[in-house]
Every structure is written in structure tokens, then in C-alpha cells.
Structure 1
Amino acid sequence: MYYLPEPPYFLLIVGLFTGLTCGLAFEATLKMNVKELLKKPANQMLKGSGLQLPFLGICVGICVFLSAGLEIFLFDRWLSYSIALPMTIFIAALVWIQLESLLKQIKIGGSKAIDLDVFY
């Protein structure tokens, strides 16, 4: 008898929900930190700012979402997580580095330092 496991639709929904709710918390915390940074620049930008926990929640949610999607459409569980975890870690590191760079620009030049209308 051939056994077909139940696709992890629940994990797909939980991963998406976790990523979205942590993303909203991350957005609110980031807006609050940027307002404080514009009022009085601090030496510590992302350390102790409260951004790490929502960002970690986003990463966990996205990793679960990606692995559940891979498991539904292509692979088994072990292979899905072995693809989704390094991909999530790599992308999260790139986003975190870019966020640090943007906050440094805001600290040095204010909100005009990241004016995107200049490129049009």
C-alpha cells in the first residue's frame, strides 16, 4: 500500500499569518524608532531597539511558509526545510544589512538623505 501524507495546508496558513502579524509589529516599531532617531540621534541604532523579535518572527513565519509550500508542491518535509531555511537566513541577512544602512543614512542626513524622488 502506498502512503500519501496529508499536505501541510495548516502550516502554510500559520506561516503566512505569523509573517504578516510580525510584519505589522515590525512596521510599527520601525516607525517609532525612526521618529526617535530623527528627534535625537542615538549611538546604538538597531541594538536594543526592539526590532529583533518582530524580525525574527517574520523570518520564522516566512521559513515555515516556504517549506510548507515546497512540501505541498514538490518535496518531502526534510528537503523542503533544508531548502527554505538557508534561503530565509540569507535573505534575512541581506534585509538586515540594508536596514542598518538606511538607518545610518537617516541618522547622518535626516529623512532627506533617502529621498527616492531624486532618481526620476
Structure 2
Amino acid sequence: MYSTPPYFLLVAGLLASFAAGAAFNTTLQQSIQTWAKNPAKQPLSQLKGPQIFVPFVGICLGVCVFLAAGLSIFGFSLKIAFAIAAVLTLLSGLLIWSQFGKILIQLEQGGSRALDLDAF
């Protein structure tokens, strides 16, 4: 009556997110280092181009698969699990992308001191 839970999808989604996260981290570090050498060339807030967005989408897709597989393990059908996971991932991804843009603007305007959370 019950099908085998998609443990493979759970692990695959997690590994895909980690791989895309590593690519995102590397690309972001390189972009910030390039900007730090010549800040007048391009505003830091413009770094949200395809070279950063593609790994971010990879992270979101991996998270979506991971969440859907996790919900499926708890008894949801795969269609319902993917629908719930897609909505959660889309909303979270939009919020994180928006915050990322705001952080880039703060970093551009105030330097690394603008991100000092201990000052609060």
C-alpha cells in the first residue's frame, strides 16, 4: 500500500544544495574581492547578476527537492510534497534574495563596519 520513501531524493537534494552553496560562496568571494580592488568600476549592489543568481537558484532547487523528499517520508504524496516545498522554497528564496541585496547595499555604503552586529 505504501511506497518506499524517497531517501535518494533527500540525499540528492541536500548534496545539490551544498554543491551550489559552495559555488555561490566562491563566486561571491571573488566578486567582492574584485569590487574591493576597484569600487568605482561597478557598484557592489550590481553584483546580483547571473554569476551569483545561478548558484542561488541551484541552492533553492536543492532545498526544494530536500523538503519535498522530507515531506514525502512523513506520508505526503509526492505531488503534494513538491507543491508545499515549492511554495516554501519560493517564498524563502525571495526573502533571502531581497535581504542579500540590502546587505550588499549596506556593505557598499558603510564598508564591513556596517555589518557589525556586535555594535547593536
Query: What is the TM-score when the length of structure 1 is the normalising length?
Result: 0.90
Per-residue deviation, 1:22:
0.7
Q: Percent identity?
A: 41
Distance in 2 (alpha carbons) for counterparts of 1:117 and 1:35: 24
- Per the alignment, residue 39 of structure 1 pairs with 37
Number of equivalenced pairs: 116
Query: Aligned-pair distance for 1:117?
Result: 1.9
Contact 1:67–1:80 (8 Å) recurs in 2: yes
> What SS does the corresponding residue of 1:59 show, helix, strand or coil?
helix
The 5-angstrom pairing of residues 42-53 of structure 1 reads: 42-43=42-43, 44-48=46-50, 50-53=51-54
The two structures have a TM-score, normalised by structure 2, of: 0.90
Give the match for residue 81 of structure 1: 82
Q: Is the 8 A contact 1:19 1:58 kept in 2?
A: yes
Counterpart AA for 1:47: G
Cα RMSD for the two superposed structures: 1.2
- 5+ residue gaps in structure 1? none
- Shift, 1:65, TM fit: 0.2
Contact preservation (8 Å) 1:38, 1:107: no
